[in-house]
Amino acid sequence: MDIDGTNLTRLTKNDKLDSCPHWNHDGTKIVYVSDTYGNLSCLDIYTMDSNGKNITKLTNASEGEFYADPSFSFSDGKSKILYIYSKGYTSNWDIYMINEDGSDKHLVLSTNDKYLAYHDPMFSPDDGNIVFSAKLNENGNHGIPVYKIFTARVDGSNIRQITDNDDESDVLPQYSPDGSKIAYFTWKWNGEGFERKIRIINIDGTNERIISTFSLEEMPSWYPRYVKIKKPLEKHLYIADRKIIRLLKSTVIIGKITIKTDAYDENGVEKVEFYIDDELKNTDYNIPYSWLWDERVFGWHKLKVIAYDQKRNIATDEINVIIFNL
């Protein structure tokens, strides 16, 4: 669905349990986990296009084999996927890596006497490192082994503990878009219930801080650099700047139209540029980012928007339309 909660779209239609979805870096593909046989006897990893098409099975689990927690790398070209694997109904989970096309499956980190299980692996934005949570063989909380956040090189070397040794479990780490920080979720049993916190920490383990203590919050995620054309929407008819009906194929515009966008960046959005057929038409520096397109024009044209943050990083979005404004 869109960031404002609209355009909710179902992507998978089966009687299986589909879970753990994760976008690739450009939003064109999703990796996820599915209960292949419908009885939770095994779990496999699949990919699909962002519209739910081209579903591809990457693993072939037999009964008692479980693949979980998949996440894409960030680089262009052939993407890689991190995931965890367990066999034989044990609680031991190893970290593996595989190419997006299912080739070159290999072990990254295996469990041992110190690290009983690995969970939540994720690539750093430059794909040189990974972050993950590890279950330690220590009785940290009422005799319960605790989880801590670690980083390592992408080949599994140079393992480094990031969060402190205390009786709280730290899980679900997420790199910030610039790779300088890690957000994660902390839980602790206090005798009556779980105390939950969402924290942020620098990648060197410094400057840890709590950003939320609401009892029902978990699974933190960073809001990435983002720009999206909100108007016109794909496959809709617009007349005199008003949305009329949904269409089957193209976006059709009759008359003038106000192009509206959403834009966000953790460093702050400096400006949004509006292009028609790669020609700059307008620049907006203030929310809401918009531009009234009212030129004498007809036929197919490409609308593109580029958002710049304060560090001159960019995000783009575009849409092809048929317009009649004579």
208/223 Cα distance (integer angstroms): 19
* 42, 65 contact by CB (below 8 A): yes
Q: Which fold has domain 226-325?
A: Immunoglobulin-like (2.60.40)
- What is the rounded distance in angstroms from the CA atom of residue 75 to the CA atom of residue 147? 29
With CA atoms as reference, report the closest residue to 162 among 144, 186, 142, 194.
186
Q: How many helices (H) and strands (E) does the chain have?
A: 0, 26
Q: Return the domain boundaries, the chain.
A: 18-212, 226-325
For residues 19 and 228, give the distance between their C-alpha atoms in angstroms, rounded to a whole number. 26
pLDDT value at residue 118 = 94
Q: The pTM is what?
A: 0.72
CA-to-CA separations, 224 to 23, 131, 172, 264, in angstroms, rounded: 11, 18, 17, 8
Each residue's pLDDT, cut to its tens digit, for the chain (326 residues) gives 766 677 788 888 888 888 999 888 777 889 999 998 887 888 999 999 988 999 999 999 988 899 999 998 887 667 899 999 998 877 889 999 999 988 999 999 999 888 889 999 999 988 899 999 999 876 554 556 789 999 999 999 999 999 987 888 899 999 987 888 999 999 887 777 778 889 999 999 999 988 877 666 667 777 666 788 999 999 999 999 999 999 998 999 999 999 999 887 766 789 999 999 999 999 999 988 999 999 999 999 999 999 998 777 788 999 999 999 98
Residue type, 30: I
Which residues 6+ apart lie within 8 Å of 325 measured at CB?
Answer: 253, 254, 255, 256, 294, 295, 296, 297, 298
Domain spanning 18-212 has what CATH number? 2.120.10.30
